[in-house]
Amino acid sequence: MVQIKGTLSEIIYHNKENFYTIAICENEEEQFTVVGNLPSVERGRAFTFDGTWQTHPTYGEQFRFTEYKEEMPNSKEGIESFLSSGLLKGIGKKTAAAIVKRFGEETFDIIERSPGRLSEVEGIGEKKAASIAEAFRNHKEFAEITLFFQQFGISPGYAMKLYKVYGADTIEAVKANPYQLVDDIFGIGFKKADKIAEKMGIGKDSEYRIQSGIQYSLWLYVNEGHTFVPQKYFCENTAQMLEVGAEQVYEALVGLAFSGDIQVETLEGRGVVFLAPYYAAEQNVCRCLLKLNNAPMKPISSNVDQLITATEIETGITLSENQKFAVKASLQNGVSVITGGPGTGKTTIINTIMKIFDHSGFTTAIAAPTGRAAKRITETSGYEASTIHRLLEYYYSEGEDTMRFGKNAEDPLVYDAIIIDEASMIDILLMNGLVNAIAPGTRLIVVGDADQLPSVGAGNVLRDMINSEIIYSVKLTEIFRQAKESLIVVNAHKINKGEYPDCNEKDKDFFFLRRSSEKEMLETIKVLCAKRLPDYYQGCDAIKDMQVLTPVRKGLLGSMNLNKELQKILNPPAPDLVEKTFGDRIFREKDKVMQIKNNYQMEWKKLENFTEGQGIFNGDVGYIDTIDLEFNELTVVFDDNRYVKYDFTQLDELELAYAVTVHKSQGSEFPIVIMPVSWFPPMLATRNLLYTAVTRGKRAVILVGSENKMHGMVENNRITERYSGLAVRLKSFLNDSGLGMLP
């Protein structure tokens, strides 16, 4: 680590979000470039920087600092430069010169200790003097706080967040309980807080540490899809993680239960632990589903059998007896579930139900968890579909600094019927928001494939509704003639039954290319995408029509490396393509990209009619239209017509999407799907993951790799148990037994 002093003479770049700064500094001996995080940058300010010299391939030698300390000037010229830098509001060059002329080298001491004397300077009254003193005090406080936290690895950006929350008491507040940072400061998790606490000398058996560790541990389970954890198992595992006794964890658990942060109860005869929001969501989903199921409904206008017959004549499609049964069930029950694999006619049933509702004068909404799924429903049914979030009018509440559903129990959705498709993707929190906004008397029809991967978020909503045997469910099993002609459909059902798929039949759409090593698999996938498939399938666009799916993110066949390799061959560097490097990623004009987090405030615009809206969602796929290096922004086109501008600071919300994980592909369909089949962790190399991947393809599915590994996936029917209480609750709510608080 090298230490160097310098005064800022020129600011090349400063990001106000994360404080990343590139600036020219100078001292008596040299001029040099510094790179690092500075919260505020004004020419004339002097610093001592700690860091290392590095040589940038384009910009040459730079000093990259990790720590800094501001040096307050002591000469008249330096003091005047500091005051006039704009750092202290209300002081311009003229006022700064007048203050220094009056107080000289004692200026800072006067501002800090006797601010009233500033009124001795012409043009400064009592109010302005107080304002200058307050700004100077805030600056010094923040400088001290930043310096204090540097020793614990907390960046100036986080120090600024801390200061905004705790003010002058920041250091004392953090010393008292560093674990409160987990709740109060976005971006500081338990592990970071734990490191800070350790450096401060706080013991492993601290009550604050154990309570924070319990909540951190519960969140780890939530991120794996669980809504609760068995208590005994949880206490033992958490105690091992925290290196304390299980009794200490249990005592802290009781304390958190009394404060309402967690919920402890008995479920099916065993003690279980919930985070409070997930407990409340499960309870409310049960209540709402049962109310909807039992409420009187608006009657259908005429005989259902006649309506089905009329729809068959209109569409030219004859429904099977099981399909008719599913249609009738959805009309006769307050809540119903229709489940089935590909080719079993779920879309036909949705279209039939919608036409019957239209004939009966019903107002109907149809929605899906993702924008891609909603778009596909619109294309296949002809009825306008939306995301569930849009249906519920999701919005940002500035007063609460959080996202809220505009539609809720107080202001419910006004429809006679609501159809939800791709329901396997719905987690318990989204389901809670949905059923909370549906008034009793509204029919709720839930459609999905229960054999696909479960939701990314916690819960097992679709399967729990089916397994409860309280919600009326119809399973479609018959594959229709047209679908039977597709090996994709036939093989999907074979995989689901634990049978090996048939591959490489002439004039069919399911292929397996045997390759022995991961390197060979990678090279084959690259050749398929760049040449073989575009040559074989006329009109096939290598970027838009083909999608590489993989079970994993990391490794040679993970989505991260596949994206780098595919970008090189499908959208290589070119003089007319502007590109932007962001961390270890390169974004280039024409690149295929995916939004990887929900951003409900992101604005979009349609250029053909200038309509505007908000909201880009996790999993939305688009293409980079332009990159503007002058204005530091990148434009992505989603759905061929929604233009979205990203500031360069927001590029962490985007990833290349030539390859995506199978989990990320849920709710989507692609003309051509390619997937490597190699050794993958047993939790991922499962039957339902392979089934989900295969059902994404419409025109062709190509698997590349080891046949033995593919067979292993088919045989691995390991569906990781999700701790979810929805099915049990639905049964228990009817007889009002089986649930009770633990002492």
Known binding-site residue numbers for ATP:
343-347
Sign of CA dihedral 686, 687, 689, 690: positive
If DSSP codes are grouped into helix, strand and coil, which group holds residue 73?
coil
Asked whether 547 and 665 are in contact (CB, 8 A), the reply is: yes
Mention every residue, 6+ apart, whose C-beta is less than 8 A from residue 81.
43, 44, 73
Sign of CA dihedral 554, 557, 561, 567: negative
- Cα separation of 55 and 448, whole Å? 55
DSSP letter at 552 equals -
If DSSP codes are grouped into helix, strand and coil, which group holds residue 69?
strand
- Cα separation of 365 and 3, whole Å? 64
Beta bridge partners of 588: 579
Report phi then psi at 409, rounded to 5.
-65, -35
Sign of CA dihedral 467, 473, 477, 481: negative
Provide the CA 423 distance to its chain's centre, in angstroms: 18
Asked whether 549 and 557 are in contact (CB, 8 A), the reply is: no
Tokens of 14: 């400063």
Query: Which amino acid, one-letter code, is at 250?
Result: Y
Annotated binding site: 343-347
Provide the CA 88 distance to its chain's centre, in angstroms: 39
Secondary structure E strands in 436-505: 443-448, 472-476
- Cα separation of 167 and 139, whole Å? 11
Cα distance from N-terminal residue to C-terminal residue, the chain: 55
Angle, CA 192 vertex, CA 188 and CA 198 arms, to 5° = 140
Query: Which amino acid, one-letter code, is at 139?
Result: H
Beta bridge partners of 396: 403
Mention every residue, 6+ apart, whose C-beta is less than 8 A from residue 541.
534
Query: Which amino acid, one-letter code, is at 402?
Result: T
Sign of CA dihedral 377, 380, 381, 383: positive
Asked whether 550 and 558 are in contact (CB, 8 A), the reply is: yes
Nearest to 741 by CA among 256, 236, 213, 273: 273
Name the CA radius of gyration of the chain, rounded. 31
- Cα separation of 643 and 704, whole Å? 35
Nearest to 473 by CA among 352, 336, 353: 336
- Cα separation of 512 and 216, whole Å? 43
Mention every residue, 6+ apart, whose C-beta is less than 8 A from residue 507.
none
- Cα separation of 639 and 644, whole Å? 11
